Structure 1
Amino acid sequence: MADKFAIVTGASTGIGAELAKLAAKDGYDLLVVADTPFVDASAGLQDLGVEVTTLEADLSTFEGIEQLLAATRGRRVDLLCANAGHGLGHAFLDQEPAHWRHVLDTNVTGTVYLLQKVLKDMVARNAGKVLVTGSIAGFIPGSFNAVYNGTKAFIDNFTDALRNEIKDSEGVTLTTLMPGPVETEFFERGDMMDTQVGQDPRKSDPADVAKDGYDAVMSGKASIVSGWKNKIQQAMANVTPAAVLAEQHRKMAEPGSADR
């Protein structure tokens, strides 16, 4: 058993799986959690000399978060990578309420509840690191991704506020990772493979995004926009009218846009 312990959510694929690899290489025992099965996501992690526990749980519910917390077996959490999240494509008026609610509850409710539970202990002992996966989508009105972009706007804003609330706990780091489109199962699971952004071959590599986030939280940064193109897009979003941003987003996220 290592003397450091990390939780990584959304860890069965993509950014989360890459964050788990980085933490394992850094000597953290791991609890990796996702709402989809772990097929090969934890393969090789044990070879790095750390203890790895996998857990399949619904992180959109308080019960799922409590299941995660119970799986820590009372261990002190030194690093939390709160990466779990879902997207949802197509027009909001065409979406099933159960589907958009699941996105809201996973991206917002479950994340906020987990942060409150873990950060309370970190602040009490004045030690710990938290990386939360937000998105540059939070700066852009997301036509045909309205709920998802809205949840990331919440996460980006919420973590800024929370960072200020705990600023006197200098031993605690809260970092927001803000990537752009990443080559993961996100677009397939969100029914967005017929969109321009879903088919774009220039999406970021999840390993590169994870490395940016991991380095940022380890160095105590408040936030990190992963990728220079995304840094430019974030800067432009701050000075571009919302109606223009929404129309730009429509062109890349509207169903059928991949064929245009």
Structure 2
Amino acid sequence: MKKIDLVYTRLRTEERMILEALRKRDCAVELHQDSDLVLSLDAERWPGGSVVLMRSMSLTRSRYLAAILEVKGARVVNSARAITTCGDKILTNLALAARGVPMPWSFAGFEEEACVAEIERRGYPVVTKPAVGSWGRMVARIDGRSAAEGLMQMRFETGSASEHVALVQQYIDKPGYDLRVYVMGRAVGGIRRRSEHWVTNTARGAVPEAYEVPASHAKLAERAAAAVGADIAAVDLLETRDGEVLVNEINHCVEFARSIEFTRVPLPELIADYAIGVLP
């Protein structure tokens, strides 16, 4: 019988739907809550199945667990490399840049005055966001020098030393929405997220809409997923008012509970099919 190991933090709507889809395909599923896993740091073979579907909500846990399980012989979806790269927006941008994938310009800085000076040189508005974070948290638009000085001071005088890095990105004047393309080796569908606010995360109140992904958007999303080494990814695209399309971010643990009823993209079934498809 086919067997998949599913690692999770808690069984949310997404994980329950994926679990049901796997079982409908006569696939045995062994569940592992990430908080319960204690794994030796050696090459002793993982006693579970050959494929692990990583659904941990924690970036720290998921990247370490994936790395350990890979050394122990498991095929992890997504890989430790993909999780680490997608989970850090600076590393994501570098991976995209290395492959020539179009994206908004951005820079990283490590000192308040130097960052403010670079923002002044490039011009306002710009966006600043944490290198590690999700759901649109701590993302801010900077419209002038006073805001730049205040936000950079907060960035460098709060948190731990490891968080004292500023990621600043070009502000894209979107036409009231952004786009998300789901990739599982290939683009399988997408959503449009519409909002009157410039931040268009559904976690921040954006309304999901059905979106027929054109071939050009699909190809761009596939290039982006390949650049970060992701098997399964949600690729966020920004469309300018002039029609240019840029890659903004890439999500390694695809969430869909807020949008699946609107988009009608059968993501649980597609994820299940992909995971089963990589079984040896």
Do the two structures share a fold, i.e. TM-score over 0.5?
A: no
Using the size of structure 1 for normalisation, the TM-score is 0.34
Using the size of structure 2 for normalisation, the TM-score is 0.32
Structure of greater Rg: 2
